[in-house]
Amino acid sequence: MLLAQIGGQALIGGIGSALIFLCGLVGFTICTMIFAIFAAHYFLVTIIHSTSGHDEVHFPNDETIATWWWKPLLCLWILFVWIVPGALIIFPALFHSMQTFLISWGILLWFAFPLGVISSLYTRNWFFYMHPTILGRMLTHFVAFVYVQIVTSVVVGIPVALLYAMLTQSYWWGVPAAFAIPTAILFYARQWGRFAWLSLHFVPNGVGEGASDPEPDFPRGTPIYVDSEEPPAPQPAQYDAGANEDELPHDEPPAPVSEPEDEWADTKPYGLVSDPEAMSFDETPTAPGSVPMPPAPLKSPTLVAEEEEDEWSLEKKPYDTTEHATRDYEEIPEADRPQDVADYYEKRAEKERIAKEEAKRKAEENFMPERSTKRPTFAVALFTGVLDFMIEGRTLQVWANLFIMTALDLVFVFIMAMFWKG
């Protein structure tokens, strides 16, 4: 009887532990998905703004989590793309030992992942995960490339070691791991973004020193017309002493110029057309004793019946425009309104400008910018620019969000591990 009770309690305890483990697994899955979306969003935004050379990273506030779903997929896609070919490349190391194979495989993925992310973001193409020009420009800054690899390896290795200690030794190692994971994500993205900005826009030390601007392909004194479709104005013909007289340009006689008329001089008086029926305003002398005649009464207009116009007649009467139907301008449809010429050309110029900008953007997608010899110092590019970013207010807010999600994720890991043993 006692054994049956003990067995029943053990069975109930086992079922309870299994339920708690399943609840922890569901919570861990949900938190991991949310953490992956936020971490990938902050990671890619930091790389994009840092590669553009911005001192500050502005995380957009007008976006929602629903628009970030593709960002963790992009990171996982680039990682998966390099897992398969990386395994094929490092396959001979498997004949030595499995440990050698895994270490070599991890080194290859560590080297290829940031290059794949930067190449895909620059070309806006998920299948262009290794841009040869980007790789070549990064290798020209070999010292900075080695520095970035070492620094990021140390920073990312710290949270990995803490997680390993949490799973193998004590769960209290998860507390410093919650602080180290978001720090490593932001530092890794900022460091690689600054290095990409340095390598893509500036030449390495010792290259381009004292270089002068190349001579233009056109002779000096030749007029240059930039962004203008109008032909140049005709230049006056020059006299050549060795030319024949028949070939020399002959000046045509100038056209007669009419002299301006003096408006106060009565040299060209206006003429009057004589009309016998017109009223005269001249005072005519009257004979003494004569009585002036009264003015003739005005005749009232007679109404004439309008004749019906023959539709086959070739001589049409003019249209009567005495009465016009008044209509509010706002009630007229836009298609029936008279088109303003200035408005038409303004809209056409705006469309042409947008089309040129779009064509320019598409043309520059797969081409690198010209690098400048006025490079920043090593400390400004890869040390000060990274530390200033890590202590900014916006960065601290992002770090706090990642810390909360990381801590909650580790709590679910602790629950699963504790009840898995039970």
User: Does 342 reside within a domain?
Assistant: no
User: Does 293 reside within a domain?
Assistant: no
Residue at token pair 């004793």? 289
Q: What is the pLDDT of residue 229?
A: 41
**DSSP string covering 196-236, please?**
HHHHHHBPPTTSSTT--PPPPSS-TT-----S--SPPPPPP
The total number of structural domains that make up the chain: 1
Per-residue pLDDT tens digits for 167-189: 888 888 989 999 999 999 999 99
115-139: string of b/e by CB count within 10 Å (b at 16+)? Answer: bbbbbbbbbeeeeebebeebeebbe
Q: How many CB atoms lie within 10 A of CB 112?
A: 21
Contacts 24+ apart (CB under 8 A), 130-137: 131/366, 133/368, 134/196, 134/199, 134/200, 134/368, 137/199, 137/200, 137/368, 137/371
**Residues pairing with 202 in the sheet:** 372
Instruction: Report whether pLDDT(357) > 70.
Output: yes
Instruction: Report whether pLDDT(51) > 50.
Output: yes
Cβ within 8 Å of residue 199, ≥6 positions away: 134, 137, 138, 140, 141, 144, 145
The CA distance from 371 to 198, in Å, is 9
The chain-wide mean pLDDT, for the chain, equals 75
Listed ranges 9-13, 144-148, 328-332; the one with the highest mean pLDDT:
144-148
Mean pLDDT across the stretch 263-291? Answer: 53
Q: What is the pLDDT of residue 391?
A: 92
Instruction: Report whether pLDDT(303) > 80.
Output: no
Q: What angle do CA 357, 363, 368 make, to 5 degrees?
A: 115
Confidence of residue 223 (pLDDT cuts 50, 70, 90): very low
User: Does 111 reside within a domain?
Assistant: yes
Q: What angle do CA 67, 73, 74 make, to 5 degrees?
A: 95
**Residues pairing with 372 in the sheet:** 202
The CA distance from 338 to 334, in Å, is 8
Instruction: Report whether pLDDT(225) > 90.
Output: no
Please give the residue that has the higher pLDDT: either 339 or 48.
48
Instruction: Report whether pLDDT(45) > 80.
Output: yes
Please give the residue that has the higher pLDDT: either 280 or 357.
357
Confidence of residue 409 (pLDDT cuts 50, 70, 90): very high
User: Does 290 reside within a domain?
Assistant: no
Q: What is the pLDDT of residue 228?
A: 39
Using CB atoms within 10 Å of the CB of residue 163, give its burial: 0 to 12 exposed, 13 to 18 middle, 19+ buried.
middle
Listed ranges 44-58, 216-230, 236-250; the one with the highest mean pLDDT:
44-58
User: Does 14 reside within a domain?
Assistant: yes
Mean pLDDT across the stretch 370-384? Answer: 81
User: Does 328 reside within a domain?
Assistant: no
Cβ within 8 Å of residue 304, ≥6 positions away: none
Domain of residue 49 covers 2-54+66-207+371-421
Least confident residue range of 97-101, 109-113, 200-204: 97-101
User: Does 330 reside within a domain?
Assistant: no
Q: How many CB atoms lie within 10 A of CB 251?
A: 7
pLDDT > 90: percent of the chain: 27
Residue at token pair 């140390």? 154
Mean pLDDT across the stretch 288-310? Answer: 57
Q: What is the pLDDT of residue 177?
A: 93
Q: What is the pLDDT of residue 36?
A: 93
User: Does 131 reside within a domain?
Assistant: yes
Per-residue pLDDT tens digits for 378-408: 888 888 989 999 999 999 999 999 999 999 9
Q: What is the pLDDT of residue 259?
A: 57
Confidence of residue 61 (pLDDT cuts 50, 70, 90): confident
Confidence of residue 212 (pLDDT cuts 50, 70, 90): very low
Instruction: Report whether pLDDT(246) > 60.
Output: no
Please give the residue that has the higher pLDDT: either 278 or 309.
309
Q: What is the pLDDT of residue 241?
A: 47
